[in-house]
Structure 1
């Protein structure tokens, strides 16, 4: 009975860690896909000799692989608690301690190296490159329009970017359809359109979303590390309880053998 409480607690903590780590992995992949949605539209000739690692591109993969590490260690914790194996629990405690360090390191790296002006500059340069490509490539223009609709932004830096070379805003800067009792219909998107003029540029919006994603991943990583610390303490208690139970069983066996003699 002494091991029941720690076992149940460890199962609950492992379940929480598993759910959070799966969420971190999913958000990491989503974050990278959003960045790739921009970078794939850039002029590739500008980046032929660019071998730099940009943190907004690297951070999602750091969190993704750390999340996979957490999932693997959590599986070991489930097995150790279920089988009441001190060996598996010892491996779990050691590996989870390493995981905690990795989670904290990932969060610190993201907040110090990625959640700053370098991310803003990377996003701004990327968006401007895509914007200039949209002037000469219709496919890029169509894809950039989809981004404008999704992020509710207009232009690279501001809606004014279009006033130098277009006669009106692209429809992606405006509410194209109204849904009500009537059939959807197209509205005008002139330079006097109030909604379009009030929108931020896509570089500003995308940079803000990137910063938010980095903060969310970092916060989830720190919270997972905190749950991991509690899990280590519970695993140590369970391991000690199993040790005491095994010693008690050995003592009973030796006493029964003495009685038989």
Structure 2
């Protein structure tokens, strides 16, 4: 296998890994957006009629999603340039890859500096409290908030004590509703003395922690993808130089140097 084929093979592998991470970042961004939207859609819309502010937990998924789409596009360019052994396409690929690497690093820095801080906690807390108050008067919101409590294993907005002012018992979403065994599933007691419910954190705390974790994971994945991109750029430059040397190599001058065989 010639050195050109080795560089092409490595470039294929690196672009495959780059594409996989791009798809993973895109999927994680969509998931993060859906989780945030699950809370924000339950808020009292009248409170946000004149609020046009885009908060970081709402913006971060879009930032990483756009970068992920660019990753996939650059990977296609990388596959094409390696397959066709085109110096022009390789130049375009290196330029585009450099831009994407800068965007990946910038997205990570923005997420860690501006989103992974108290502003995200405040946004989540305000949103959860708004949804919690909505659940007092709207059964549909209460059911949706109950689904969130079951999924996050949390209870109330700030703590389980939030329910003690206006309910006779904890909602079933704060407790393990069913036991599964040899017997049929049955509801358990969910009184204010329930130990499990009282030990749970409020949904604002749990949701804020999950938001912070999601931001850190997206940022770490972006940084790792940028490192893969840097290695791909190095091999693309190597392949470019190999192709340039091959085309600048003088043709054979003697018959003995030619590979042609006279019939």
Shorter-chain TM-score: which interval? over 0.9
- Which residue number in structure 2 is paired with residue 153 of structure 1? 154
Task: State the SS of the aligned residue for 2:167.
Answer: coil
Paired residues, number? 255
Query: Cα distance, 1:2 vs. partner?
Result: 1.9
- Which residue number in structure 1 is paired with residue 169 of structure 2? 168
Query: Cα distance, 1:4 vs. partner?
Result: 1.2
> In structure 2, how many angstroms separate the alpha carbons of the residues matched to 1:106 and 1:147?
29
> In structure 2, how many angstroms separate the alpha carbons of the residues matched to 1:115 and 1:41?
24
User: What are the within-5 Å matches in structure 2 for residues 69-148 of structure 1?
Assistant: 69-148=70-149
- Which residue number in structure 2 is paired with residue 219 of structure 1? 220
Query: Cα distance, 1:85 vs. partner?
Result: 1.0
User: What are the within-5 Å matches in structure 2 for residues 227-238 of structure 1?
Assistant: 227-238=228-239
> In structure 1, how many angstroms separate the alpha carbons of the residues matched to 2:254 and 2:150?
79
- Which residue number in structure 1 is paired with residue 19 of structure 2? 18
User: What are the within-5 Å matches in structure 2 for residues 20-59 of structure 1?
Assistant: 20-59=21-60
Query: Cα distance, 1:5 vs. partner?
Result: 1.2
> In structure 1, how many angstroms separate the alpha carbons of the residues matched to 2:233 and 2:106?
18
Alignment gaps of 5+ in structure 1: none
User: What are the within-5 Å matches in structure 2 for residues 177-256 of structure 1?
Assistant: 177-248=178-249, 251-252=250-251, 255=253
Query: Cα distance, 1:256 vs. partner?
Result: 6.9
> In structure 1, how many angstroms separate the alpha carbons of the residues matched to 2:42 and 2:254?
78
> In structure 2, how many angstroms separate the alpha carbons of the residues matched to 1:78 and 1:182?
58
Q: What TM-score do you get using the length of structure 1 for normalisation?
A: 0.96
> In structure 2, how many angstroms separate the alpha carbons of the residues matched to 1:228 and 1:136?
52
Question: Which runs of structure 1 show a deviation greater than 6 angstroms over 4 or more consecutive aligned residues?
Answer: none
> In structure 2, how many angstroms separate the alpha carbons of the residues matched to 1:85 and 1:195?
64
Q: What TM-score do you get using the length of structure 2 for normalisation?
A: 0.95
CA RMSD, Structure 1 to Structure 2 (Å): 1.2
Task: State the SS of the aligned residue for 1:179.
Answer: coil
Q: Tell me the alpha carbon deviations over residues 146-192 of structure 1, each in whole angstroms, 9 at most, x when there is no partner.
A: 00000000000000000000000000000001111111111010000
Task: State the SS of the aligned residue for 1:182.
Answer: coil
> In structure 2, how many angstroms separate the alpha carbons of the residues matched to 1:163 and 1:81?
66
Alignment gaps of 5+ in structure 2: 258-263
> In structure 2, how many angstroms separate the alpha carbons of the residues matched to 1:83 and 1:183?
64
> In structure 1, how many angstroms separate the alpha carbons of the residues matched to 2:254 and 2:14?
39
